[in-house]
Structure 1
Amino acid sequence: MLKQLITLRKQKKLTIQNMADALGIAKSTYASYETGYRQPPVDALIKIADFFSISLDQLVDRHFFPDFYLDQPEKAHGRLFIDGRTLTEEEQKEVIAFIKVKRRLP
């Protein structure tokens, strides 16, 4: 996570002071997160993730890929996107139909 904090901050061209100000904490506190001297509390992790518009999993570099049942929306835990737009229910049905036909072919 330390590398992730530094990488995210530098990608946005922010200083440690900028981050501390954005989170409402002392510069030394934020610096201690990046050096590993202190572990950020959960509320700080949430603020950091929100600040960068990422999930907590992304922030801590945890790769989690839940199962997604396209044909069982009640089990779905996410949305499907193509070209940055969410697939409509009708488009999802068309995708399912296409795959079912495709699987029946050799």
Structure 2
Amino acid sequence: MLDQLIEFRKSRKLTIQNMADVLGIAKSTYASYETGYRQPPIDALIKIANFFNISLDTLVNRHYRSGIDLDQIKGGNYRFYIDGKALTKDELKAIVAFVKVKRSLS
């Protein structure tokens, strides 16, 4: 989780102080979350996940692999993310096309 906190913060070009301000805590408290000295309480994790618009599972680096066939998705309630941002349908189609071309060249 430590890596996730740092990665999401840096991806938005935020400082430790910025994140502390978002959470309404001291800079040293937030810094202790990133260093692993302290575990953030659940309410802080929820605020962080909401701020970055990600799930708690993503924040704590917990990924489920359900075997979804991207070719078979026809508008279900699935969302796919890269760098914390949801992919559009066109982006998802482009990814599938890219992989198919790459595999055909192998």
Q: TM-score, normalised by structure 1?
A: 0.64
Instruction: Name the structure 2 match of 1:36.
Output: 36
Instruction: Name the structure 2 match of 1:3.
Output: 3
Q: Specify every segment of 5 or more residues in structure 2 that has no aligned partner in the other structure, as ranges.
A: 69-75, 80-88, 92-106
* Residue identity in the other structure for 2:90: D
Displacement of 1:67 in angstroms is: 7.3
Percent identical: 72
> Alpha carbons of 1:7 and 1:80: their partners in 2 closer, same or farther (altered >3 Å)?
closer
Q: State the SS of the aligned residue for 1:22.
A: helix
CA distance in 2, matches of 1:23, 1:59: 15
Task: Establish whether residue 83 from structure 1 lines up as the match of residue 81 from structure 2.
Answer: no
Tell me how many residue pairs correspond in the alignment.
Answer: 75
> Alpha carbons of 1:80 and 1:41: their partners in 2 closer, same or farther (altered >3 Å)?
closer
Query: What is the Cα-based RMSD across aligned positions, in Å?
Result: 1.9
Displacement of 1:80 in angstroms is: 4.0
Question: Which protein shows a greater Rg?
Answer: 1
Q: TM-score, normalised by structure 2?
A: 0.64
Q: State the SS of the aligned residue for 1:54.
A: coil
> Alpha carbons of 1:43 and 1:66: their partners in 2 closer, same or farther (altered >3 Å)?
farther
CA distance in 2, matches of 1:59, 1:44: 11
Q: Specify every segment of 5 or more residues in structure 1 that has no aligned partner in the other structure, as ranges.
A: 69-77, 85-106
